[in-house]
Amino acid sequence: MNPSKHLKLFRECINSGDLSHARKLLDKIPDSDLRSWTILISAHTKRGHPKEAIRVYDELLVRNVRPDRWALLSVAQACGFARDLRKAKEIHEDAIRFGFRSELVIGNALIDMYGKCRHSEGARMVFDDLAVKKDVISWTAMCSCYMKCGVPREAIQIFRRMMLSGVSPNSLTLSSVLPACSRLKYLALGREIHGHVIRKGMGDNVFISSALVDMYASCSRIMKAELVFLSMRKRDDVLWNVVLSAYLSHGECEKAMRLFSQMRNELGVALNQDTWNAVISGFAQCGETKKSFELLAEMQKSGTKPNLITITAVVPICTNLGSLKAGKEIHCFVFHHGFLNDITSATALVFLYAKCGSLELSRRTFDLMLGKDTVAYNTMIFANSIHGNGEEAVLLFNEMISSGLQPNTATFTAVLSGCSHSRLVDEGQMIFHSMAKDHGVEPDEQHYSCLVDVLSRAGRLEEAYCFIKEMPMEPSATAWGALLAGCKVYKNVRLGQVAANQLFLVEPENPANYVMLSNIFEASKLREAGLKTRELMRDRGITKTPGCSWVQVKNKTHTFVSGDKTHVESEKIYRFLEEIQEKMRMAGRLPHTDYVLQDLDTEEKELSLCHHSEKLAVAYGILNLKGVSTLTVFKNLRICGDCHDTIKFIAESSGVRIVVRDSLRFHHFKEDGLCSCNDFW
């Protein structure tokens, strides 16, 4: 076969995609020209094999063939697609070595290559080295590079320099700089660009319009975003998604729902995953959890298969609701769609079960994971910590170290928290001191605060105070708060006042600090000091955050506030609590009236305690168990001491396991009348 026939066959192989055969044919063409090599490099990149394209270029150099500008352009494109920074730097050196340093076309390609490799320094070096006048492609490539590298301010600076140099931006330039305005909320510049778009007749460009809508939405100018959207004659699904997300992110749920229905009608095709995920997560963020679940079911009915983004959108809904039933449904959903082997999804389930009150299901999910990373271990350690299972948290920490995984700052926060909740002082101190020494992790303010909590919970208040004073950074409210909580439990008035005074300076608006100090005074019979603390609180206009508790019964969430009498079963609830109070009195267990701040007499204080939200939620749950052996209640604040004792009594007398999640941890009230916190929280 003569060379011309080989060349013809080579081109046929390129067109058909048989690139391996095309490569073999190059060896049979005696005078195979550089153009053929360049065609093969470009073909590999177009077919999605940039690394193979780079290998062909390397082979070209081995044969001592000098690349021309087209070969360099082709391999630069391949390096960009492969994000191969090491090779990109070599191509840059080749461009200089072979005399193309000042060529505008090559320079633009190298800037684009470095941008795709997320290397702004290299791109800027090429940009500054261009001896010829930069064209709109040069400026656009540099602007785009800065955005890809996450430095929007530099992108805007380049754009402004471009305008000052007299180069007019094209649609790609504007599509690159508008996201920078969105990120930085530069409304004034965004408006200037919008004016330029109108003057130049670019308003029908979908990419520019989408960027303008996003810019106005990011700057909280929803009406302007809507006007741009409505002015578009043609709208693609990207533009619809941008407007939809804008409405949802600003809480415009009704408008978003109307737009969503309009979108489905107008597009006339099945919506893609991005759209479904946007509305599901958007409605969840707006607090419309029921709507999110409805949309998830609708998504599946429409034939659109959920992906991992869908899972990450739905799991937090169940976690925030504390709905174990919904969590189990999501678990089945994850299993059914084949995501159980995905470490991110499995870890999310571990966290979900823990936050919904089931440490057992959390551990079972963790044990079934095929592979575990640092985040998975951190989640399981944290789960045991908030459930008061500190010994298991420490065991998991040691298991993680033995497996070869490197702990991070979150790991130590989780395990030290577990030590504090279980009063594991020696273990906590040992782990704290091992951070920098054995694991190269410098303790931060949060870790120091955790150790203060460990010491305070164990009653070593003087040691905790000395530790705070020796901290290498300014002690935070968390550290002083831990000491104050310890002083409340151990009735240490002196250190309690020291901690509270510091807290009044650091976070003067936090009512919990005033309440806690007042309780310390009341418990020590220092009523006048307690009264002054309450007066200080009133004078500063600070009010106690209302307690709110909720419980799920028959797939419905019932919410209660302190003194709530709006529930349909209020009469039964209060009668039940009065009976419990009488039984406790007969058993010699009197109410803790120290937890009531109002100036009431003893009988009124007892009545006030009876109306706390967690008691109301527990009472309703007990009255409507219907064969359920475990009752789970959630509260927005820390549970008070009297409610804690009352719920222990209810669990013991009813034989029902009661789980209460307050703002700090889980309390597992067992049938034997004991709590997992050992009466310290």
Rounding to the nearest 10 degrees, give the CA dihedral for residues 576, 580, 585, 591.
-90
Residue 612 to residue 284: CA distance in whole angstroms:
29
Chain position carrying tokens 């508008």? 178
Residue 631: phi, psi to the nearest 5? -115, 130
Please report the pLDDT score of residue 296 as a whole number.
79
Could you give the angle at which helices 570-586 and 602-610 cross, rounded to 10 degrees?
130
289: pLDDT strictly greater than 80: no
Is the sign of the CA dihedral 220, 223, 228, 233 positive or negative?
positive
Among residues 102, 128, 67, 104, the alpha carbon closest in space to that of 90 is found at 67
Residue % of the chain over a pLDDT of 90: 49
Taking the chain, what is the end-to-end CA distance rounded to the nearest angstrom?
88
Residue 297 confidence (pLDDT) above 80 = no
CA distances from 107 to 125, 126, 163 (A): 10, 6, 20
As a whole number of angstroms, the distance between CA 386 and CA 568 comes to 33
Whole-number pLDDT of residue 601: 39
Chain-wide mean pLDDT for the chain?
Answer: 86
Model confidence at 247, in pLDDT bands (50, 70, 90)? confident
Across 108-112, 575-579, 593-597, 613-617, least confident range: 593-597
Over range 165-170, report the average pLDDT: 93
Tokens of 254: 């009704």
The rounded distance, in Å, linking the Cα atoms of 261 and 119 is 42
Q: Which domains does the chain have, with CATH numbers?
A: 1-25 (no CATH), 455-540 (1.25.40), 548-669 (no CATH)
Furthest-apart CA pair in the chain: how many Å? Answer: 112
Helices (H), 165-252: 171-184, 187-199, 206-218, 222-231, 237-249
Question: What is the enclosing helix (H) or strand (E) of 657?
Answer: strand 657-661
For residue range 571-602, list pLDDT tens digits in order.
999 999 999 999 998 888 766 555 444 443 34
d(C-alpha 180, C-alpha 146), whole Å? 9
pLDDT digits (tens, 9 = 90+) for 433-456: 999 999 999 999 999 999 999 999
Q: DSSP of 155-188, one letter per residue?
A: HHHHHHHHHHTTPPP-HHHHHHHHHHHHHHT-HH
680 has pLDDT over 80: no
Q: Residue 2 — very low, low, confident or very high, per pLDDT cuts 50/70/90?
A: low
Contact of 22 with 14, CB cutoff 8 Å? yes
| Mean pLDDT to the nearest integer, 347-367 | 88
pLDDT band at 681 (very low <50, low <70, confident <90, very high): low
